[in-house]
Amino acid sequence: MRDLKPLRPGDWGILCLGGLLVAWLMAAGPGGGDRVVVKQAGRVFLEASPRLNRMVAVPGPLGETQIEIRDGRVRVAADPSPRQLCVRQGWIRPGEAAVCLPNRVSVEWGQARYDSLNY
Partner 1 sequence: MTASTIKFPASAEDRRIAALAAVGVGLTVAEAAIPLPVPGIKPGLANIITLVVLYRYGVGAAVWVSLLRIVAGALVLGTFLTPTFVLSLSGGVVSLAVLVLAARLPRAWFGPVGLSLLAAFAHIATQLWVVDLWLMPGLSIMGWLPVFLGAAWLTGLANGLVAARMLRDRPASAPAAAHAPLMRGPL
3-state per-residue secondary structure call for 22-80: HHHHHHHCCCCCCEEEEEECCEEEEEECCCCCEEEEEECCCCEEEEEEECCEEEEEECC
Fill in the per-residue mask, 82 to 101: x = in contact with partner 1 (CB under 8 A), - = not in contact: ------------xxxx----
Using CB under 8 A, which residues numbered 23 to 82 contact partner 1?
Answer: 25-26, 30-33, 37, 39, 44
Interface with partner 1 by CB under 8 A: which residues?
1, 3-11, 13-15, 18-19, 21-22, 25-26, 30-33, 37, 39, 44, 94-97, 108-111
